[in-house]
Amino acid sequence: MIGLPAWFVATTCALLGLAVGSFLNVVIHRVPRGESLLRPASRCPECAAPIRPWHNVPVLGWLVLHGRCADCRTPISVRYPLVEAGTAAAFSLLGAAFFQSWALPALLYLAAAGIALALIDVDTRRLPDVIVGSTSVVVLALLVAASAGGGAWAALLRGLAGAALSYGFFRLLSIAWPAGMGGGDVKLSALLGLTTAWIGWGALGIGLFVGFLLGATVGLALMAAGRASRRTALPFGPFLIAGAFVGVFHGNTLAGAYIAVMTGAA
């Protein structure tokens, strides 16, 4: 991507995101059930009719079918095209923002895994080790390659330190508050700490702050609406992931502005 124009990288990433989003729908449905991602081929869960290849085109297939199975007319959840379109949008934004960065492949991979993990956590209150663990290995390898390609070894060391700090912090939280912080959140925090700290300490700090802020805001809103109580367990993974990407995009800028205000340099 080095040397390519931003619009070209963003467009290419968007098209890639559509295809990846289609696969993520399979991951979100099958991984929590322990099913193979390869077999059987995609089929209607109601009538078991195979999905025609031309009906499997991201977003367009759902629109052509008017959101219903071609055979039994069972409604198909709008989540499917939303995941595909959302993944395309996330990939496009990353491509536009990091089109000159060697870290773009790592960020794209993390975005895809993050979307799958967030929705699985909402559905099952679990963050599967198979996704968190494999993503951690792949993202680390891609960041090592990015550090080698861009000569950013200091960023890699900072990322590893961020992973250790995030893991230690969340491990302590899980011990102090076991009902609100699961082991999956702890493992995910290390992955997000690695990536955000590779971008910068500001990205890590803002990412954590926004994640906790989002979680607290949603929790309070649900309690105010009578849909949750203080004992209600909320999935924390989606908030951590959303916070991390706010940190990736704006963390260093926001942290720098905050420090300038606090020190009177602004």
In order of 9, 14, 22, 29, 87, the CA distances from 17 in angstroms are 12, 5, 8, 18, 5
Helix%, strand%, coil% for the chain, nearest 5:
70, 0, 25
The C-alpha atoms of residue 43 and residue 164 are separated, in whole angstroms, by 42
| pLDDT at site 265 | 66
Q: Name the residue ranges covered by the structural domains of the chain.
A: 1-100, 101-266
pLDDT in tens, 195-216: 999 999 999 999 999 999 999 9
Q: Where are the alpha helices (DSSP H) in 31-66?
A: 60-64
Of the pLDDT bands very low, low, confident and very high (cuts 50, 70, 90), residue 184 is: very high
pLDDT in tens, 104-142: 999 999 999 999 999 999 999 999 999 999 999 999 999
Q: What is the pTM of this model?
A: 0.94
